[in-house]
Amino acid sequence: MRAVIQRVTRASVTIDGAVTGEIGAGYLILLGVGAHDTTAEADKLWHKIFGLRIMEDQSGKTNRSIDDVGGDVLVVSQFTLYADCRRGRRPSFTAAGNPQHANELYEYFASLARRDVPRVATGTFAANMQVELVNDGPFTIVLDTNQL
């Protein structure tokens, strides 16, 4: 699995002009599911994200986790994180999980977040979404379970 984690002051997802998910301060997580990913990768990735100390403390240092600050989480599916741009100019997405498999793991990952974080919003799998955010810092981290 791959994730882009952005520390935000706010973020939202809009579909067909209607806001379907929004959060205040916390993390926007763009989540990509690979063809061979399992719940073990989702567990590993969520455990890493939940424990990350990238929220600021009273001194402005990144010493606090999302749990420490009571932050929100917005999870948005993003199969394009598996784009392969090595050949030609049109990306290939063959490494991404098939839609059924990817949706199951996306929902599973969101359930892990809901277990630990009081306010979790999501996008809608496979929908055309407009994502708005205010990146706090800016602070953005890219994680891949193959490298954790």
Q: What confidence tens digit (pLDDT) does each residue in 104-145 have? A: 999 999 999 999 999 999 999 999 999 999 999 999 999 999
- Find the catalytic residue in 6, 79, 122, 145: 79
Q: What is the pTM of this model?
A: 0.97
End-to-end CA distance of the chain: 10
CB burial string 19-39: b at 16+ within 10 A, e below: eebebebbbbbbbbbbeebee
Q: Which two tokens stand for residue 27?
A: 């993390």
The string of pLDDT tens digits covering residues 4-57 is: 999 999 999 999 999 999 999 999 999 999 999 999 999 999 999 999 999 999
pLDDT tens-digit map of 61-112: 999 999 999 999 999 999 999 999 999 999 999 999 999 999 999 999 999 9
Task: Establish whether 50 is a catalytic residue.
Answer: no
Nearest alpha-carbon partner for 55 in 124, 147, 141, 143: 141
Token pair 């917005």 is found at: 74
Does the annotation mark 93 as catalytic?
A: no
Active-site hit among 6, 78, 122, 145: 78
Query: Is 62 designated active site?
Result: no
